[in-house]
Structure 1
Amino acid sequence: MNLMSHLIGRRFPSVDLEASSGSPVNPAKLQGLAVIFCYPYTGRPGFADPPNWDHIPGAHGSTPQALAYSNAYGHFRRSGVKLYGLSLQDTEWQRDFVTRNGLTFRLLSDATRGFSSRMGLPLFETGGVAYLQRMTFIAQDGVIAAMRFPVPEPERDAEIVLDMVQPR
């Protein structure tokens, strides 16, 4: 059951999000088919996870999810799909994650919450900090055509979404 199905058919808000590549991406202006998977947080060596992270359902799994998308990136490209990950983390943190993990696609920072607040995306909080709940959007020309929420098995999200977007 998709608890966010009211977003299907809605255009992404026109917000410039800084990408890990350094250039802005405006989801409303994306042409063609695009996948944006939203994730709560990626860890970093030398930094503790947020408080109570191990006890929050759905909090873990962002790294396996991103790596699965990176491994499937060639299939998405061959299908003509633009691929992005999105979190509330700042661009510098995301750049470090991209570099450490050799990701083949860009991450988008919504650190100002300009995108997530206009979309009314669900958040959870721990340690006084808000995090996005995990969800995945499939959009055509900036309009949400389908989505996955919740995403109970983040490591399988790329495989499931690829099956949804590949031509039959």
Structure 2
Amino acid sequence: MSLPAPGPLPTDLPGPVDDGAADHLPDQRMPHLALPSTDESLVTLDEVSAGRWVLFIYPLTGEPGVDIPQAWDQIPGARGCTQEVCSFRDQLATLAEVGIEQVLALSSDTSEYQRELANRLHLPYPLLSDPRLQLAEALVLPTFTAQAVPRRNAGAQQLYKRLTMVVRGTRIEHVFYPVFPPDAHAAQVVDWLRTHPDVLV
């Protein structure tokens, strides 16, 4: 059975720039923060694994059949969340081969919406819900304010910028920021892991 695949991204999306907002993260420790997961458990971020694992963070995903506001495409790095979650799905076995023990995704979406997304796209890894941006507060993660937010009608909202961390135990080993293009990002993570084998540091 073939897995659901999102459509291609527009070719003229503006790319994000490196504003230095993640420069402080390498060697930081994951906080003792428990977030709800699509497997209906609480995942505590400093207890995920003693080995290497990946946490990728994205703003939010769109809804099938609902047009994405044009203004959303003009926000550098905002578009492409569905493509990114599918890219990690498709690379999951390869990530395990290069030493990743767990892949987690995180967004400000509700757990209810994330469960629908995981079922619809057959995502084999947990998605964590952080609508209050608690991890952003704990680690001073980059965020942005969006006026036109798919599926949400509450005016301007603060959302996560796209970012990925390779973590060893509780220590952040490497950070991908900015992330672009999102549909090729999981392969970028695999390439980095292949050139940085799992050795104690």
SS at match of 2:24: helix
> Is the helix fraction higher in 1 or 2?
1
Query: Which residue, 117, 123, 127 being the options, matches 1:97?
Result: 117
Q: Which residue of 2 aligns with 1:76?
A: 95
Gaps of 5+ in 2: 1-17, 148-155
Q: Percent identity?
A: 30
Residue 115 of structure 1 aligns to a residue whose secondary structure is: helix
Deviation at 1:92, TM superposition (A): 0.7
User: How big is the shift at 1:73?
Assistant: 0.6
Match of 2:35 among 17, 21, 39: 17
Alignment counterpart, residue 152 of structure 1, candidates 158, 161, 180: 180
> Please, what is the CA RMSD of the aligned residues?
1.8
Using structure 2 for the length normalisation, give the TM-score.
0.77
Matches of 2:114 and 2:138 in 1, distance apart? 22
What is the alpha-carbon distance in structure 2 between the residues aligned to residue 84 and residue 7 of structure 1? 18
Q: CA deviation at 1:121?
A: 0.9
**Is the Cα–Cα contact under 8 Å of residues 50 and 126 in structure 1 kept in the other structure?**
no
- Tell me if the contact between 1:65 and 1:154 (Cα under 8 Å) persists in the aligned partners: yes
Question: 1:87·1:109 contact (CA, 8 Å) conserved in 2?
Answer: yes
Q: Please give the per-residue CA displacement for 1:26-55, whole angstroms capped at 9, x wherever unaligned.
A: 121222101011101101125454682122
How many residue pairs are counted as aligned between the two chains?
168
Check if 1:142 corresponds to 2:162. no
Q: 1:66 aligns with which of 85, 105, 114?
A: 85
Deviates more, 1:46-55 or 1:100-109: 46-55
Q: Is the 8 A contact 1:19 1:106 kept in 2?
A: yes
User: What letter is aligned with 2:56?
Assistant: F
Please report the TM-score for the alignment, with normalisation by the length of structure 1: 0.92
Which of these residues, 72, 87, 92, is aligned with residue 107 of structure 2? 87
The whole-number CA distance in structure 1 between the counterparts of 2:134 and 2:83 is: 26
User: Larger deviation: 63-72 or 157-166?
Assistant: 157-166
Match of 1:131 among 145, 149, 159: 159
- Structure with higher Rg: it is 2
Distance 2:181 2:57 in 1: 13
Tell me, in whole angstroms, the C-alpha distance in 1 between the residues paired with 2:72 and 2:19.
24
- Give the conservation status (yes or no) of the 8 Å contact 1:2–1:148: no
The one-letter amino acid of 1:163's match is: D
Sort the Cα spacing of 1:2 and 1:143 in 2 relative to 1 into closer, same or farther, 3 A: farther
| Cα distance, 1:120–1:50 mapped onto 2, change above 3 Å | farther
